[in-house]
Structure 1
Amino acid sequence: MAVPSFFLLISILSALLMPLSGLQNVSSSTCMPAPPADRLPVYPSDLPRIQFALNLEHLEAAFFCYGALGHGLDVLAPELVMGGPPSIGAMKANLNPLVEDIIEQFCYQEIAHIRVITETVGPFPRPLMDLSVKNFAHITNVALGRELNPPFDPYANTVNFLIATYWLPYMGLTAYVGTDPNLLGYWSHRLVSGLLGVEAGQDAIDRGLLYQMKEEKVEPYNITVAEFTNHISILRNCLGGCGIKDEGLIVPLELGSENKTCGNILSADVNSLSYARTAAETLRVIYSTGDEHVPGGFLPKGGNGEIARSYLHHH
C-alpha cells in the first residue's frame, strides 16, 4: 500500500483541524458543477413557478416562528413582509425544550427560504394567513369526520403542535417535487432542489417524532397519533383530487415499502419516490376547499403571485 507523503498528511491534518467557519472561504472549480453552457441560470418561465412557493414558505415561517418564539417576520425580518398583513391567530406554543429548539431552527430556515426566493425571483406581499386555533380545529374536525370537544388546539402542547406541523412542510415538499421538472434554468433547479431537501428534512423530523408516539392517545380525544396522521392524509388526498399523494404513519401493507411493511416513516409512492403536486393541487389543499379558485383555510384571501392570483381571477 502506498504511504501518503508527509505533505499530504499535513494537508489532511490541517483540514481536519481547520475551523468550519474557515472552510466557507475555500473555493475551487471542482467544488461546484460547471453550469451548462447552453442554459441560463433562471428562465423567465421559471420565475412564477418558484415565486409560488413563497405562499407556503410564509405559512411555515409564521407558524414555526410564532410557535417557538412568540413573534414572526414583523419582528425577525420585517423587510420580507412587503406590506402583507399579519397572520391571524398564530401564537407561542407550549413546547418541550427539545421540540422548541427544533421548531426555532425551522423558523430561521423558513426565513432564509423566503429571502433566497425573493432575491432570486422577486418578492410579493405576504398573503393573509389563518393559523388560528379556530382554523386548525375546523380542518381537524373535517379530517376526523366529527367535532372534537374541546376543539383541537395546535398550540396547547408538544404533541398537538407536531400534529399541526404535519399539515405544512409536506405540502412544500410535494409542491417542490412537482415544480422541479418544469424548470429550465440550472440555478432554478439548484435552488428548488435545495429548498426541497430542507422541506423534506423538516417533514421527516416531524414524522419521526410522531412515529415514536404513533400508538399514544392524543388527549383528551382517545384517538392515536397515527390515526390523526392517517385522517389528515386522507383529507389532503380528497382535497387534492388527484389520487394518493399523501400517506399517514401507518398504511395498509399494499402501500408500504415493497409491500412488506405497514410502518410508514416517510410518505412515498410505489417506488419509494416522493409524491409530486401541481400548484393547483397544492392550493386545493391549502385552501381546504378542494378548489384552486376558491380561497379559504390557511389562505382565506388566496395566495399571492402570478399563478395563485390567476386561478382567483378566472373564477
Structure 2
Amino acid sequence: MNDQDMLTQVLEASDRRRDERRSFLRAAGQASIAAGGLSLLAACGGNNNTTPTPTPTPTPTPTGTTAATDADILNFALNLEYLEAQFYSYAVYGTGLPASQLSGVGTQGAVTGGKQVTFTDPVVAQYAREIASDEIAHVAFLRTALGSAAVAMPAINIDGSATGAFTAAARAAGVVSATGTFDPYANDNNFLLGAFIFEDVGVSAYKGAAPLLTSKTYLDAAAGILAAEAYHAGLVRTVLYAKGLAGGTGTGSLFDTVRLISDARDSLDGTTDDDQGIAGADSTISNIVPTDASGIAYSRSAANVLNIVYLTKSATVGGGFFPNGVNGFIKTSNAN
C-alpha cells in the first residue's frame, strides 16, 4: 500500500468517526454553539475569569462586538489543527489535506512548503504516521462539530527553505545562524524538533481554552483533543530525550537545541517563565512533562499562542506560520 492510499484510508476512517459522532453533536445543536458569550479578554487575554456574558448575536464569528462564543474558541483551535495536520501530512505522506477539508468561513489560503521526510528510524516513522492520522482526524472532527460556522484553512507556511517560517523560527531561537537554514523535513531529528515547536504549544492552548467553553458537549470534545495532543507532546519529548542521551550533551546537542526553542517560545508568549526543555541542568534527569511545582501543566492564552505561531512580540494579525493571520474572531497576538 502506498502513502496516498494510506492517507485515503485515514480520511475514510475519519468520515466513519464523524458519522458515529453525529448524534453526539446534534445534542448540542447550533444553539449551544452560539449561546453564552465570553469576553474577548477572557478568550485572548491572561486571566481565568470564566463568567459567561450574554452574546448580542448568534453569529458564530461576530465583528465589532466584545464577545467570543464557543464557536469562536473552537475555530481558533481549528486554525491550529490545520497547521499541525498539514505539517504531519506532508512529512509522512508527501501531500497535504484534500480540498474538501479546507473550505469554510473566511479567506481560504494555500500551503507554502512541506515535503515527505525520508525517515531512517522506524520508531520515529511509525510515531509520525500515528500523529498524522490523529491530526487529520482532529481537523475533520472540528469541521463537523462547527458545521457551516467552520473557518476555512488560512494561508500556512511550513517551508524549510531559507525564506520559510521554520528557518525564521530557528534563526530567532539561535538554533541556526542569522544566515542559516532549518529544514524540518531533512532528517528524523529535524522532524522531531519541528514537531516539538507545535506540540507543546497545542497542549497549552487547549488547556487555556478549555475553561472558557460554556457548552459541556464542546468542553468534552476539547478535553479529548487536549488529551491526544498531550500524548503527542509527551511522545515527541521522550524520543528527543532518548536521542539526546545517545548523542551527547553540550552546545549543539539535541538538549541544547530544544532548550533554545523553549527559551524562544518563552520570550514570545509573555512575561512568565513557563516553557521548559526536555532535561534539567543535569541532562541525565529527564523533564518529559513540563509542569509547575504541583505537577500541573501550564496554560497559554489565545493571544500568546498567536505570538508564537506569528513569531512576534507585537499585537499583530499575521506572520510566521500564518503569514496572513488565522481565520475567525480570535486572531490578534499580544504585545509584550
TM-score for the superposition, normalised by structure 2: 0.72
Three-state SS of the structure 2 residue aligned to 1:235 is helix
Name the structure 1 match of 2:131: 106
Residue identity matched to 1:203? A
CA distance in 2, matches of 1:49, 1:270: 29
- Residues 89 and 95 in structure 2, CA contact (< 8 A), matched pair in contact too: yes
Name the structure 2 match of 1:243: 272
1:46 to 59, 70, 73: 70
1:197 to 200, 220, 227: 227
Three-state SS of the structure 1 residue aligned to 2:116 is coil
Please report how far the alpha carbon of residue 217 of structure 1 lies from its aligned counterpart in structure 2 after TM superposition: 4.8
CA distance in 1, matches of 2:180, 2:275: 27
Three-state SS of the structure 2 residue aligned to 1:166 is helix
RMSD: 2.8
- Residues 217 and 223 in structure 1, CA contact (< 8 A), matched pair in contact too: no
Name the structure 2 match of 1:72: 96
CA distance in 1, matches of 2:246, 2:268: 27
Q: Does the C-alpha gap of structure 1 residues 262 and 149 become closer, same or farther in structure 2, counting only changes over 3 Å?
A: farther
Residue identity matched to 1:65? S
Three-state SS of the structure 1 residue aligned to 2:110 is coil
CA distance in 2, matches of 1:286, 1:272: 26
CA distance in 2, matches of 1:181, 1:210: 31
Please report how far the alpha carbon of residue 104 of structure 1 lies from its aligned counterpart in structure 2 after TM superposition: 1.8
Between stretches 195-204 and 99-108, larger displacement belongs to 99-108
Name the structure 1 match of 2:158: 131
Q: Does the C-alpha gap of structure 1 residues 273 and 47 become closer, same or farther in structure 2, counting only changes over 3 Å?
A: same
CA distance in 2, matches of 1:251, 1:119: 42
Matches within 5 A, 1:1-315: 42=33, 44=35, 45-73=69-97, 77-82=98-103, 84-96=108-120, 97-121=122-146, 122-133=149-160, 134=162, 135-144=165-174, 147=177, 151-217=181-247, 223-252=252-281, 262-308=285-331, 311=332
Residue identity matched to 1:235? A
- Residues 259 and 277 in structure 2, CA contact (< 8 A), matched pair in contact too: yes
Please report how far the alpha carbon of residue 252 of structure 1 lies from its aligned counterpart in structure 2 after TM superposition: 4.5
Residue identity matched to 2:216? Y
- Residues 68 and 101 in structure 1, CA contact (< 8 A), matched pair in contact too: no
CA distance in 2, matches of 1:43, 1:212: 45
Please report how far the alpha carbon of residue 137 of structure 1 lies from its aligned counterpart in structure 2 after TM superposition: 2.0
- Residues 214 and 249 in structure 1, CA contact (< 8 A), matched pair in contact too: no
Equivalences, count: 265
- Which structure 1 residue ranges, 5 or more long, are not aligned? 1-23, 25-31
- Residues 185 and 191 in structure 2, CA contact (< 8 A), matched pair in contact too: yes
Name the structure 1 match of 2:8: none
Three-state SS of the structure 2 residue aligned to 1:295 is coil
Identity of aligned residues (%): 28
> Rg larger in 1 or in 2?
1
- Residues 251 and 262 in structure 1, CA contact (< 8 A), matched pair in contact too: yes
Three-state SS of the structure 2 residue aligned to 1:284 is helix
CA distance in 2, matches of 1:241, 1:152: 25
Q: Does the C-alpha gap of structure 1 residues 104 and 269 become closer, same or farther in structure 2, counting only changes over 3 Å?
A: same
- Which structure 2 residue ranges, 5 or more long, are not aligned? 1-16, 18-23, 36-68
Three-state SS of the structure 1 residue aligned to 2:201 is helix
Residue identity matched to 2:324? K
- Residues 175 and 261 in structure 2, CA contact (< 8 A), matched pair in contact too: no
- Residues 117 and 185 in structure 2, CA contact (< 8 A), matched pair in contact too: yes
- Residues 216 and 224 in structure 1, CA contact (< 8 A), matched pair in contact too: no
Three-state SS of the structure 2 residue aligned to 1:307 is coil
